[in-house]
Structure 1
Amino acid sequence: MAADLLTALFPLVALLALILYGVLHARSGDLADVVVSEKEILVRPRGVFKVLSFRWSIRVPADAIAWTSAPDVGDLDPPGMRFGATLFPGLTAGTFFGPDGASYWLTGRSGPALRLELSEGPLDRIVVQAGNDPGSLAARIRNMGRAA
């Protein structure tokens, strides 16, 4: 009987352990790698955040970037309703739908994040905390002449 209960609860315990691991590591603010090139911006979640955000990567054509900034995560509004996402105190990861459209979030508790407003595509906004400096990434994208 105890073995059956343990077998039945194992997937739930494993999922909760994965989420707890993600929440604890989200405090570092190093949740994704962002690569900026002349043609596209590539966002790759790191490690466990690929699973928690339900995405391995996001490729955005450089021409689709309408606006970019590097706000503090604490100053941003909640993303909306979850659709393939994880939302726990200290971790927001995945795709959300709200009044402003679809958005992808990968953020921890606080600190700067790269915010991309898109003019076309399935997403309207991307907000990620990256290990590399979000302020310099936003400036680099603006200097490409494609974002305000």
Structure 2
Amino acid sequence: MNTVKITDTELVIEPHGLDKLLSFKSGMSLPWEHVRGATQDDRIVEESKGIRGPGTRLPGKYSGTFKKDGDASFWNVGGSGSVIVVELRDEPYVRLVLSVEDPTKAVDEINAHARA
């Protein structure tokens, strides 16, 4: 699970507990100029993720960097949370795929600040 924090200048993503270790990320801060927008997509977990590294893949749990078709995505999904997808530009990742507690609130807040 992840916490999404909104500031005037950036989007902050913080993995919780063991997810920090499994994803090889303690968190990330992204300037709004690099955030294109967000959607809720619980079915994305059924897609091919690509090649993992570094990261962890367990039954029902995907954490870390996954590369597919030359693009890197950061995944931290699993458990009971719903999934959001945050589209990025000018970042090492083209998208973030994240489990969050309140996906509707997270998507609305991100889209209110994103620079599409």
The alignment's TM-score, normalised by the length of structure 2, stands at 0.89
Contact 1:74 1:109 in 2 (8 A): no
Q: Which runs of 5+ in 2 are unaligned?
A: none
| Equivalence for 2:107 | 138
Bigger relative contact order, structure 1 or 2 (CA pairs below 8 A, ≥6 apart):
2
Report the equivalent of 2:17: 47
Q: 1:78-125, CA deviations, whole angstroms, 9 ceiling, x for partnerless residues?
A: 221001110111100001111160110000167521211101111111
* TM-score under structure 1 length normalisation: 0.71
Question: Please, what is the CA RMSD of the aligned residues?
Answer: 1.8
The one-letter code matched in structure 1 to 2:53 is F
Aligned-pair CA distance for 1:135: 1.6
Structure 1 stretches lacking a partner, 5+ long: 1-30
Summarize deviations over 1:53-94 as a string: whole Å, max 9, x none: 111111111110113101114565122100111011110000
Q: CA–CA distance in 2 between the matches of 1:62 and 1:112? A: 23
CA distance in 2 between partners of 1:126 and 1:54 (Å): 14
Larger radius of gyration: 1
Higher strand fraction (1 or 2): 2
Match of 1:70 in 2: 40
